[in-house]
Structure 1
């Protein structure tokens, strides 16, 4: 392997130097476990801007390449983080994986299951290489607290959940880049792009869905192929039912809210904060608003490694570095990212075909040849 389990910083290549790539580069520059060794972007000004950011933070200027192949050929890299357009994620990740490197992929894993499946199959043949998908909200203290309560059975039988992503995006947002709102490179709209993080948390809390019934529509934006509203009902193996709502039409932007309800307790996460928690087994006076939130979040934080704190991206990177050095799986695995992608595709397929879709059938490739459509007929 290219990276032995030592305390030396891991050498990172950031592929794609847009907004998300810049964020990962900044996180790496603030981590003692990482150093940015290379930047990859065909658009020189983007790479130069990130390079200036890094030197301003006291890091040596990284090498700059126009494509990943050139960066791999020069060597000196341990980990590649893929921050390009969604429709290119799996292919670039596979290229890095086959070069013997550890790989981190921004959400979503890809826009289609076939390239994601090839990546998954290749990763299975390379168990010593870590492949992680960015889903930083699993590392929020509120999310960790709810997962901890679920694992302890404090909510009893979980019967239902609701996940609302009530965001607003202007027409100018979609007009700002030709790839935005396209099936080929964005892979979907309000759900694939904005809602996938919240969907991932829903799956982390409730498990793999059995089937999905959904509708999607483009109602408030022009010149896009994808949906700006998606509504779905998910049924889980436990029998639990969940509603999922993702929108980029909710002016003035109402944020994200995730609720979990059980026979012995419930929790609400809003704007990444634990705003409600109650369990039947609570001692008298435990439910006292801010007090219980602090107690639960402190308990969740105790499970994190030293040096982790309230920046969920840095927290996830700390976990990824630990996974590489300890030769273990990261908290958010390739399979987790694949399940989230398969569930999004199940939503789109249900909306297109007008019937329930079994998620296992999507995972197995039964619908790989099917297209998904918005109500105005654009297809992918």
Structure 2
């Protein structure tokens, strides 16, 4: 029986807690948050306001870190150096430097497993999409498009002020909302040759992070990628991921995967499983990845999303930011591949 703790009881922690409670192989023994009023979410579980005290007092197998981005490295390091496995919410970190430090930590402590929550890789729609487009049946990938058009009110950034400050969040819509779509695009497209992007703010929220991004990616395969992301839409519209191959077009929208060919027209291939009671865009990916990670701990396996895998998204976001500031295409000196 694995002993689990959660550090940070913000919005996404509810998904983690639900999954922990539903798994018969684990038990939640402690949680930690600065806000003591949140102990009502986890009655019967030991509540801490200082994570260092929790790590000293509890014998833990795995800690879920659901904290603001700038705390990811500090807390991951503290857990890892005590030999505790870590399930880390995205992003890996708020800067390239701290993200690389977590990768180095993973290399230095190989007996400690660090799984990063890029859970959309496990969505049924994406897994089928990836199999279809890499099968070779439909020719080469020509283009990949990702669309994330959501809405966040001013209160979203000011009730939790770290979200609107680059020194704490590391960025805006790209690192917080669109990072999953960036991750899936790079998995499909492979090695990236260059990036050109523009970051801006459509809302007058007085933020120093972007609420809107438009990006072109150029892959060494010859394929082209386009990403449009914003939190300035009227609503949270369905995320769209489109892959155009030589003989077919695939689109994920409204949590379903469609294939279009000239002969068959449009056909629905599969729908995503949903995690009941949570925001629609969470889906069931958290549940799958968390449970998969527990099995990796129990059975000494390594089939989870490592820090080095999640670092790729930070490199992409860094290149986009540089392109926007310098108003030019950024050539990637090193390979970005998994």
TM over 0.5: yes
| CA displacement at 1:279 relative to structure 2 | 6.2
Mind listing any 5+ residue stretches in structure 2 that lack a counterpart? 274-282
**Cα displacement (A) at 1:348:** 1.0
Rounded Cα–Cα distance in structure 2 between residues aligned with 1:131 and 1:279: 41
Question: Residue in 2 aligned with 1:322?
Answer: 295
Cα displacement (A) at 1:362: 9.9
Asked whether the 8 Å contact 1:212–1:357 carries over to 2, the reply is yes
Residue 18 (1) aligns with residue 31 (2) = no
Q: Which residue of 1 aligns with 2:233?
A: 250
> TM-score, normalising length from structure 2?
0.90
Alignment partners' CA distance in 2, 1:133 and 1:226: 23
Query: Unmatched 5+ residue regions in structure 1?
Result: 1-7, 53-60, 299-309, 364-380
Per-residue CA deviation, residues 197-227 of structure 1 (Å, 9 max, x unaligned), is 1111111222242221011111223121111
| Count of aligned pairs between the two proteins | 327
Q: Do residues 229 (structure 1) and 212 (structure 2) align?
A: yes
What is the CA distance between 1:125 and its match in structure 2? 2.1
Deviates more, 1:188-197 or 1:330-339: 330-339
Name the residue aligned to 2:279.
Answer: none
Name the residue aligned to 1:49. 40
Cα distance in 2 between the residues matched to 1:154 and 1:94: 45
* Whole-angstrom CA distance in 2 between matches of 1:63 and 1:241: 51
Using structure 1 for the length normalisation, give the TM-score. 0.80
Q: Are 1:238 and 2:233 matched, yes or no?
A: no
Q: CA deviation at 1:165?
A: 0.5
Alignment correspondent of 2:277: none
Give the superposition deviation at 1:27: 1.5
Q: Does 1:140 align with 2:123?
A: yes
SS at match of 2:239: strand
Aligned-partner Cα distance in 2 for 1:49–1:362: 47
What corresponds to 2:249 in structure 1?
266
Does the aligned pair in 2 maintain the 1:86–1:186 contact within 8 Å? yes
Contact 1:208 1:339 in 2 (8 A): no
Alpha-carbon deviation of 1:346?
1.2
| 3-state SS of paired residue (1:64) | strand
* 1:65 corresponds to 2:48: yes
Deviations 1:76-114 (A, max 9, x none): 210111100011112211211111111111011111011
Measure the CA separation in 2 of the matches of 1:97 and 1:331: 16
Shift of 1:288: 6.5
Q: Comparing both structures, which one devotes a greater share of its residues to strand?
A: 2
Cα distance in 2 for residues equivalent to 1:315 and 1:211: 33
- Local SS of the residue matching 1:203: helix
Which residue does 2:284 correspond to in 1? 311
Residue number among 66, 78, 92 corresponding to 1:83 in the alignment: 66
Verify: 1:350 aligned to 2:332, yes or no. Answer: no
CA distance in 2, matches of 1:252, 1:117: 35
Alignment of 1:67-146 (within 5 A): 67-146=50-129
Q: 1:265 deviation in Å?
A: 2.1
Q: Which residue in the other structure is 1:339 paired with?
A: 312
User: Is 1:207 aligned with 2:175?
Assistant: no
Equivalent-residue separation in structure 2 for 1:85 and 1:251 (angstroms): 26
1:35 aligns with 2:8: no
Matched, 1:277 2:277: no
1:56 is matched with none
Call closer, same or farther: CA 1:12–1:359 in 2, change over 3 Å.
farther
Matched, 1:293 2:276: no
